Structure 1
């Protein structure tokens, strides 16, 4: 299951990707359009900015914009920024690997073997699905609300 924070981050990314011109979106506008609590959104946008997914502009015409094309930003990338590794077990993480404390032998661990398949399938879908593809499918909000 993804966190509420991750859902909000994806919704914010959808809002930025759906912007029709080069005008940055204000936090208040994103919060209202995507039903995200403003204070929570501020924290999420700062994380996304620190990780190079979005950019902010100050001033009267300021706000937030995608730093890269929505075609080049995947669900997996956003989820890793907000929630951390996608792996269901620490021994399967590609970015934060560490051996499970109670593990005798990773090579013979039945649990690890099954969840390795789950992790690979999950990564495959999330790392191949861009923000733009989700918007084009017309299922963005429905997908997140079903979680």
Structure 2
């Protein structure tokens, strides 16, 4: 499950992508439009700024805008920035690997084998899906249905 912070980050990025024509968006406008606490949004946008996803402008016409285009920002990239590694088990993490407690042999671990497939599929979808894909259409074809 992704964190509330990640959900807010995605909502803010989608709002910024939708307002590209208007260029700069005020934090207060994003916060109220997306129902995100303003102080929390400020922290999220600072994280995204440090990682080169958004930029800020100061002054009377200040605010935030995307630094990268929406078709270059993947859900996987944002999720790793906000929530850290995308792995259902610590032994599958590429960024924060740790041997699972009680596991004698990772190569023959049935649990690891199943969740390795889950992790690979999840990473592939998140790394191939962009903010632009998410706003292109409500029934984006790149996302498999759960039916």
TM-score normalized by the length of structure 1: 0.90
Q: Which moved more, 1:75-84 or 1:15-24?
A: 15-24
User: Contact between 1:23 and 1:61, CA under 8 Å: does it hold in 2?
Assistant: no
In the alignment, does 2:143 pair up with 1:137? Answer: no
Unaligned runs of 5+ in 2: 141-147
Cα 1:139–1:61 shift into 2, 3 Å: farther
Aligned to 1:28: 28
In the alignment, does 2:34 pair up with 1:14? Answer: no
Note the alpha carbon deviations across 1:36-75, whole angstroms, 9 max, x for none. Answer: 1111101111111111111111111111111111000011
Aligned to 2:85: 85
Q: What displacement does 1:137 show?
A: 1.7
Aligned to 2:72: 72
Unaligned runs of 5+ in 1: 141-147
Aligned-residue CA RMSD in angstroms?
A: 1.6
Cα 1:139–1:2 shift into 2, 3 Å: farther
3-state SS, counterpart of residue 21 of structure 1:
helix
3-state SS, counterpart of residue 60 of structure 2:
coil
- If each structure's helix is expressed as a fraction of its own residues, which one has the higher value? 1
Aligned to 2:126: 126
Structure 1 segments (4+ residues) deviating >4 Å: none
Aligned to 1:40: 40
Q: Which moved more, 1:87-96 or 1:27-36?
A: 87-96
Aligned to 2:144: none
Note the alpha carbon deviations across 1:87-142, whole angstroms, 9 max, x for none. Answer: 111111122222223321111111111100110110011111000000002369xx
TM-score normalized by the length of structure 2: 0.90
User: Contact between 2:20 and 2:65, CA under 8 Å: does it hold in 1?
Assistant: no
